[in-house]
Amino acid sequence: MSYQKTTLSRYGGWLPSSRHVHKHFVHKHVERAHHKIKTHPDGCNAPHHPAVAKFEKTIESDPEMKRLFDEIFLQVSKENKIPNPEAFFHMLDHIIVEPPKFHIALTDSGEVIGEPIGVPMYLIFDLLCNTCAAYHLFTKPAFNHALKDLLNTWGHYLSTPDSAKTLNEDDEGWFSGTSLQTLEDFAGGSFKTTYYCPNPDAVDKGYKSWDEFFTRKLLPGVRPILAPHDQTLIHSACESTVYRISRKVKAHDQFWLKGSPYSLYDMLNKDKKMAKEFEGGTVYQAFLSPQDYHRWHAPVDGVIKKAFRVEGSYYAVLPDAGAEVGDPDLRPGDPHGAIIRSQAWMTMHSARSLIFIQADNAEIGLMCFIGVGMAEVSSGEITVKEGQRVKVGDEMGMFHFGGSSHALVFRPQVEITFADHVVVDQHLQVNSVIAQVHGGGKSGSGGPEVPVGRGLPTVAFSASGALGIPMNY
- Rounded to 5°, the CA angle 384-388-389 comes to 115
Domain shared by 176 and 275, yes or no = no
- The number of residues in the chain equals 473
Domain shared by 178 and 274, yes or no = no
Domain shared by 451 and 308, yes or no = yes
Task: Determine the pLDDT at residue 442.
Answer: 39
The 10s digit of each residue's pLDDT in 339-351 is 889 988 999 999 8
Of residues 4 and 318, more confidently modeled = 318
Domain C-terminal end among 187, 214, 241:
214
Domain shared by 462 and 386, yes or no = yes
Asked if 261 contacts 213 with a C-beta cutoff of 8 angstroms, the reply is no
Distance CA 316, CA 124 (A): 14
Residue 245 amino acid letter: I
The 10s digit of each residue's pLDDT in 121-164 is 999 999 999 999 999 999 999 999 999 999 999 999 999 999 99
Residue 243 amino acid letter: Y
Question: Per the domain annotation, does 73 fall within a domain?
Answer: yes
Domain shared by 163 and 248, yes or no = no
Task: Determine the pLDDT at residue 18.
Answer: 84
Domain shared by 195 and 252, yes or no = no
Domain shared by 7 and 75, yes or no = yes
Distance CA 416, CA 100 (A): 40
Mean pLDDT of 199-222: 96
Report DSSP letters for 430-471, one per residue.
TT-EEEEEESSS-S-SS-SB----SS--EEE-TTTSS-EEEE
The percentage of the chain sitting over the pLDDT mark of 70, rounded to a whole number, equals 88
Of residues 458 and 392, more confidently modeled = 392
Question: Per the domain annotation, does 299 fall within a domain?
Answer: yes
Domain shared by 203 and 69, yes or no = yes
Question: Per the domain annotation, does 43 fall within a domain?
Answer: yes
Helix (H, G, I), strand (E, B) or coil at 455: coil
Task: Determine the pLDDT at residue 259.
Answer: 56
Helix H or strand E segment including 408: strand 403-410
Question: Per the domain annotation, does 324 fall within a domain?
Answer: no
Distance CA 372, CA 295 (A): 13
Our CA dihedral for 382, 383, 387, 392, rounded to 10 degrees, sits at -100
Distance CA 47, CA 51 (A): 11
Distance CA 139, CA 287 (A): 21
> How many domains does the chain divide into?
2
Question: Per the domain annotation, does 319 fall within a domain?
Answer: no
Domain C-terminal end among 214, 244, 266:
214
Residue 126 lies in domain? 1-214
Task: Determine the pLDDT at residue 241.
Answer: 93
Asked if 237 contacts 406 with a C-beta cutoff of 8 angstroms, the reply is yes
Q: Which of 435, 411, 439 is nearest to 280 (CA)?
A: 411
Instruction: Report helix angle 120-129 to 85-95, nearest 10.
Output: 160
- Rounded to 5°, the CA angle 267-418-445 comes to 80
Domain shared by 17 and 161, yes or no = yes
Distance CA 235, CA 436 (A): 9
Q: Model pTM greater than 0.85?
A: yes
Helix H or strand E segment including 414: none
Instruction: Report how far Cα 341 is from the mean position of its chain's Cα atoms.
Output: 12
Question: Per the domain annotation, does 320 fall within a domain?
Answer: no
- φ and ψ of 395, to 5 deg: -70, 135
Question: Per the domain annotation, does 343 fall within a domain?
Answer: no
The 10s digit of each residue's pLDDT in 191-208 is 999 999 999 999 999 999
Asked if 113 contacts 107 with a C-beta cutoff of 8 angstroms, the reply is yes
Question: Per the domain annotation, does 334 fall within a domain?
Answer: no
Domain shared by 97 and 165, yes or no = yes
Domain shared by 209 and 237, yes or no = no
Q: Alpha helices, DSSP H only, in 411-465?
A: none
Asked if 377 contacts 402 with a C-beta cutoff of 8 angstroms, the reply is yes
User: Which of 211-215, 310-314, 370-374, 400-404 shows the highest mean pLDDT?
Assistant: 211-215
**Range in 70-74, 83-87, 447-451 the model is least confident about:** 447-451
Domain C-terminal end among 153, 180, 214:
214
Task: Determine the pLDDT at residue 462.
Answer: 34
Task: Determine the pLDDT at residue 470.
Answer: 42
The 10s digit of each residue's pLDDT in 402-456 is 668 999 999 999 999 999 999 999 999 999 999 999 874 333 333 333 333 333 2
The 10s digit of each residue's pLDDT in 226-260 is 999 999 999 999 999 999 999 999 998 765 544 56
Domain shared by 168 and 278, yes or no = no
